[in-house]
């Protein structure tokens, strides 16, 4: 079993170190991750400049001056002389719940793996400023889920978006299959001034929960459970196709 590990927090992040250690008990782990924090990079792919891959001091750890999607794309599409069997991204320092998946570099790394034909998983620890950052819990969750996939494959390869409560492992109440919830729109931008007095702006924090009801990832984590949400790449709203077809009738008349 050859497992590719990536993230969006950078190859030195404590979450990816814990993940690499945990998954090494199940197979050969190779890390290819950004050289620095690339949170919020989403599925961006670098096309305007060439990419470089560097080897870290630890064996089988590589870093790229690019995005999480760049890292997975390079690793799966020919950089190595062997093929990987799975992509696991994380453990992210912060939740990727609901609408967060649209912006998350952690989830994007998993999506790229699945886009290139591999089963993939994104694992995030739902940290907060005053939380304990139990990355070992997130890594243990990932290890158990990968072990389950090895023992019992899903009927079809999926992207699993996993969110883990930031508590010690013995306080995790279990696992739940969930759907994505929704957030309110993000908070307003935050204006500031640079040292030269020029106007600059910070993107505001994510909005509060809007749909955090039964069955959502928000609800599961708030109740102490690991949230496991299957994602798909196809963004087509199939139920709306008939309405759009009708709406387009006569447009060329």
User: Hey, where are the domains in the chain?
Assistant: 2-182+209-248
Q: What's the Cα-to-Cα distance from 213 to each of 3, 95, 137, 170, 220, rounded to whole Å?
A: 34, 17, 25, 26, 9
Q: What's the Cα-to-Cα distance from 164 to each of 80, 203, 213, rounded to whole Å?
A: 31, 25, 18
Q: What is the mean pLDDT of residues 42-52?
A: 93
Which of the four CATH numbers 3.30.450.20, 3.30.70.1170, 3.40.1210.10, 3.30.460.80 does domain 2-182+209-248 have?
3.40.1210.10
Give the model's pLDDT for residue 161.
98
**Span 188-203, pLDDT tens digits:** 889 999 999 999 998 8
Cα 5 from Cα 31, distance rounded (Å): 5
Band of pLDDT at residue 184, cut at 50, 70 and 90:
low
Q: What's the Cα-to-Cα distance from 177 to each of 24, 106, 149, 224, 252, rounded to whole Å?
A: 26, 19, 15, 13, 46
The two three-digit tokens of residue 21, written as one number: 């250690």
**Span 137-181, pLDDT tens digits:** 999 999 999 999 999 888 777 899 999 999 999 999 999 999 998
Give the model's pLDDT for residue 155.
73
Give the model's pLDDT for residue 212.
65
Strand-by-strand arrangement of the 61-64 sheet: 53-55, 61-64, 28-34, 2-6, 86-93, 120-126, 159-165, 226-231, 175-177
Give the model's pLDDT for residue 209.
67
Residues with Cβ within 8 Å of 82's Cβ and at least 6 positions away in sequence, in order, are 2
**Span 61-118, pLDDT tens digits:** 999 999 999 999 999 999 999 999 999 999 999 999 998 999 999 999 999 999 999 9
On the question of pLDDT at 183 being above 80, the answer is: no
- If you count them, how many residues does the chain have? 253
Q: How many DSSP H helices and E strands does the chain contain?
A: 6, 13
């Amino acid at each position: 079993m050859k497992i590719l590990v990536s993230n969006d927090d950078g190859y030195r992040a404590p979450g990816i170190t814990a993940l690499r250690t945990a998954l090494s008990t199940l197979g050969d782990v190779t890390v290819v991750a950004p050289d620095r924090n690339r949170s919020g990079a989403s599925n961006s792919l670098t096309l305007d400049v060439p990419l470089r891959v560097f080897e870290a001091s630890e064996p089988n750890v590589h870093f790229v001056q690019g995005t999480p999607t760049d890292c997975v794309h390079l690793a799966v599409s020919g950089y190595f002389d062997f093929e990987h069997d799975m992509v696991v991204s994380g453990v992210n320092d912060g939740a990727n719940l609901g609408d967060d998946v649209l912006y998350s570099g952690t989830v994007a790394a998993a999506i790229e793996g699945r886009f290139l034909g591999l089963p993939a998983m994104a694992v995030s620890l739902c940290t907060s400023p005053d939380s304990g950052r139990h990355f070992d819990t997130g890594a243990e969750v990932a290890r158990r889920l990968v072990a389950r996939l090895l023992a019992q494959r899903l009927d079809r390869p999926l992207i699993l978006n996993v969110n883990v409560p930031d508590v010690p492992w013995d306080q995790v109440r279990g696992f739940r299959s969930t759907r994505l919830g929704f957030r309110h729109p993000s908070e307003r931008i935050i204006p500031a001034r640079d040292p030269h007095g020029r106007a600059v702006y910070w993107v505001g924090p994510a909005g509060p929960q809007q749909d955090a009801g039964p069955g959502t990832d928000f609800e599961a984590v708030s109740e102490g459970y690991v949230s496991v949400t299957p994602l798909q790449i196809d963004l087509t709203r199939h139920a709306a196709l008939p309405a759009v077809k009708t709406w387009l009738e006569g447009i060329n008349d």
